[in-house]
Amino acid sequence: MPGFNSETYIPQVAIDCVIFGFRDKKLSVLISKLHLKGEIYGLPSGFIKQDEGLEDAAQRILKERTGLSEIYLEHFKNFGNANRTNRDVIQRIMEYNTDFFAGLDRFDIKNEFEWLSQRFISICYYALVDINKVTPTKTEMDESLEWYDIHALPGLMMDHKEIVDLALESLRQNLDKNIIILNLLPEKFIMKEVQDLYETVFETTYARNNFQKKILDLGVLDRLEKKFTGAQNKAPYLYRFKK
């Protein structure tokens, strides 16, 4: 067990991360299946160390799970209902895993579960990553850590589905203000990839010429060499964020 206590971590405050990736015209979210029996799925989460800033904690949690440093992230909401607790989930885990827990020190288990069963305020971030660069990395809490199509998520514990929904809504709102969404693309990309991304996130289609003009008018992209794919006369240009 990871040794959660208020000497090390701020109690009753959790960080939950909605990590968005984009591939094959699908917007995906990184979901953890908890170690131990019970089929419990949730968002990558963690706590804030006593000597650690809030954003630093979010970056650490993201790095632990994705291997990436300096990820683009955005705080979008605090969830803080008075009855917001893991208690039901914890009890389900205990019922499904009596054998496992029988072998552990009862005092340690009690302390960990008391920690995890507290009421938690969740500080929620979404992160935008280049899915090709991510190596999903399990912590000792995870049985699996995988990308799921945002429209085909497994049942998530607590209010995590609501958190995902709100993250998507917030992403769409921010998109109108700036071009953060391009953090979901690889370093070099063609205009069609940008259009695919916008169409996926907004679940709509755009006229190609209008879309290209709108994006180029933002003035944030450098046009690079053509991307040769064999049919030379049709090769599209590659683009990159301006430095």
> Does the footprint of a second copy cover residue 168 (CB under 8 A)?
no
**Alpha carbons 213 and 182: distance in angstroms, whole number:** 16
Q: Which of residues 201-230 bind a second copy (CB under 8 A)?
A: none
> Does the footprint of a second copy cover residue 13 (CB under 8 A)?
yes
Window of 54-62, 64-72, 147-155, 225-233 that interacts with a second copy by CB under 8 A: 54-62
Biggest distance spanned by C-alpha atoms of the chain: 71
One-letter amino acid of 109 = I
> Does the footprint of a second copy cover residue 3 (CB under 8 A)?
no
Residue closer to a second copy (CB basis): 56 or 222: 56
| Long-range pairs of 206-212 with CB within 8 A, sequence gap ≥ 24 | none
- For a second copy, the binding residue among 23, 63, 75, 240 (CB under 8 A) is 75
* 8 within 8 A of 50, measured Cβ to Cβ: yes
Positions of E strands within 50-184 = 72-79, 121-128, 142-149
- For a second copy, the binding residue among 1, 2, 8, 12 (CB under 8 A) is 12
The answer to whether the Cα torsion of 54, 59, 63, 69 is positive or negative is negative
Q: Which of residues 105-144 bind a second copy (CB under 8 A)?
A: 119, 121, 123
* Contact footprint for a second copy (CB under 8 A): 6, 10-13, 48, 50-56, 75, 77-82, 119, 121, 123
